[in-house]
Amino acid sequence: MKLREFTFDALKMDLDYNGEVSLDLIQEFVVEDLEVPDHFIESLQLQDTFINIKLSQTREYFNDDWYINLQRVS
């Protein structure tokens, strides 16, 4: 099943955040390290150490490498 919403724990990711996770840091990590194109990100939320990413409602990215990697880390 193809998902458009992913949740993962920031503590399990390779983030250098020195004990404090900010939404700006998360967005940078998602775009730069996970290579998720910014224009497909509908929303990013941070609750405690959990990151929730909602992607736009399109099918054009389902076979892209970044999408497959995002499924693996979530």
Residues in Cβ contact with 18 at an 8 Å cutoff, skipping those fewer than 6 apart = none
* pTM score: 0.81
- Ranking 2-6, 17-21, 68-72 by mean pLDDT, the lowest is 17-21
pLDDT tops 60 at residue 1: no
Over residues 1-12, the mean pLDDT reads: 82
Q: pLDDT tens-digit profile of 10-63?
A: 777 766 555 566 778 888 888 998 899 999 999 999 887 788 999 999 888 999
Angstrom distance (rounded) from CA 20 to CA 4 = 27
pLDDT at position 65? 94
